[in-house]
Amino acid sequence: MIADEFPTPSWEERFPEPIKFLPVAFILALIAGLWWIYVTCHLLPMMQESHSRGLAWLELLIFHAVTAMLLVCYFLCVFVHPGTIPDKNEDPSWEYDETEGPQPLATDTVLSMQESKRTGERRHCKWCLKYKPDRCHHCRVCRMCILKMDHHCPWIYNCVGFRNYKYFFLLLLYTSIDCGMIVFTMLPSVRAGTTPTTPFMTMFLLMFGETLAGFLGVLVTLFLFFHIFLMQKGMTTIEFCEKSQGSSGFDSSAYDRGFVGNLVAVLGDQPLLWLLPVAPPKGRGLSFASEDSRLTKDMEAGRGIRRHAHRETPVAPKRRSERPYHCGGTGSTGQSEDSLSGSGSDEARSLEPDLGSSRGPHGREVQGYGATDDAGTGSRESPK
Ligand SMILES: [Zn+2]
Ligand SMILES: [Zn+2]
Angle at 133 between CA 24 and CA 166, to 5 degrees: 40
25 φ, ψ (degrees, to nearest 5): -65, -40
31-39 long-range contacts (CB < 8 A, ≥24 apart) are: 31/67, 31/70, 31/71, 31/74, 33/209, 33/212, 34/182, 34/209, 34/212, 34/213, 35/67, 37/205, 37/206, 37/208, 37/209, 38/63, 38/182, 38/186, 38/209
Ligand nearest to the CA of 81: 2
Q: Please tell me the distance between residue 308's alpha carbon and the centre of ligand 2 in angstroms.
A: 32
128 CA distance to ligand 1 middle (Å) = 4
Q: Which ligand is nearest to the CA of 345?
A: 1
Instruction: Tell me, in angstroms, the distance from the centre of ligand 1 to residue 76's CA.
Output: 23
Q: How many Å apart are CA 312 and CA 370, to the nearest integer?
A: 26
What is the structure's pLDDT at 109? 55
Domain coordinates of the chain in residue numbers?
13-375
Ligand closest to 84 (CA) is 1
Cβ–Cβ < 8 Å for 127, 143:
yes
- Spell out which residues have Cβ within 5 A of ligand 2, the ion: 139, 141-142, 152, 159
3-class secondary-structure state, position 137: strand
Report the distance separating Cα 56 and Cα 42, nearest Å. 9
- When mean pLDDT is compared across 179-188, 222-231, 350-359, the lowest value belongs to 350-359
Rounded to whole angstroms, the Cα distance separating 96 from 99 reads 9
Over the chain, what is the mean pLDDT?
77
CA of 20 to the centre of ligand 1 (A): 20
Tens digits of residue pLDDT in 328-376? 445 455 455 554 333 333 433 333 333 333 333 333 322 222 232 333 3
pLDDT at 211: 97
Measure the CA–CA gap between 175 and 220, rounded to whole angstroms. Answer: 7
Cα dist. 296→17, 207, 380 in Å?
43, 51, 11
Q: How far apart are the first and last CA of the chain?
A: 34
Instruction: Give the bridge partners for 345, in sequence order.
Output: none
| H/E run at residue 153 | strand 151-153
Tens-digit pLDDT profile for residues 268-309: 999 999 999 999 998 888 888 765 544 444 444 444 333 333
Beta strands 151-153 and 158-160, pairing class: antiparallel
Do 166 and 281 meet the contact criterion of CB atoms below 8 Å apart? yes
Ligand having the closest approach to the CA of 138: 1
Q: Which residues contact 325 (CB under 8 A, 6 or more apart)?
A: 241, 245, 333, 334, 339
Alpha-carbon span 333 to 159, nearest angstrom: 10
CA nearest neighbour of 124 among 321, 355, 348, 345: 345
Query: How big is the chain by its Cα radius of gyration, in Å?
Result: 24
State mean pLDDT over 202-231.
Answer: 96
Q: Which is more confidently placed, 218 or 259?
A: 218
Pair 138, 338: CB distance under 8 Å: yes
Ligand 2: centre distance to CA 74 (Å)? 16
User: Which H or E run contains 145?
Assistant: strand 144-146
Q: What are phi and psi of 291, to 5 degrees?
A: -60, -45
Catalytic residue among 73, 128, 153, 159: 153
Query: pLDDT, tens digit, for every residue of 151-173?
Result: 999 999 999 999 999 999 999 99
Contact 74, 27 (CB under 8 A): yes
What pLDDT sits at residue 142? 92
Question: In this structure, are residues 292 and 262 in contact, taking their beta carbons and an 8 Å threshold?
Answer: no
Distance CA 218, CA 156 (A): 20
How high is the pLDDT of residue 71? 98
pLDDT digits (tens, 9 = 90+) for 80-132: 999 999 888 887 878 888 777 666 655 555 556 667 776 667 788 989 999 89
Higher-pLDDT residue of 108, 52: 52
Among the bound ligands, the one closest to the CA of 16 = 2
**146 CA → ligand 2 middle, Å:** 7
153 included as an active-site residue: yes
Q: Which residue has the higher pLDDT, 327 or 281?
A: 281
The pLDDT confidence band at residue 383, using thresholds 50, 70 and 90, is very low
Rounded Cα distance, 358 and 338, in Å: 21
C-alpha torsion angle, residues 69, 70, 73, 74 (rounded to 10): -150
Lowest mean pLDDT among 46-55, 230-239, 303-312: 303-312
**How far is ligand 1, taken at its centre, from the CA of residue 373, in Å?**
35
222 alpha carbon – ligand 2 mean position (Å): 22
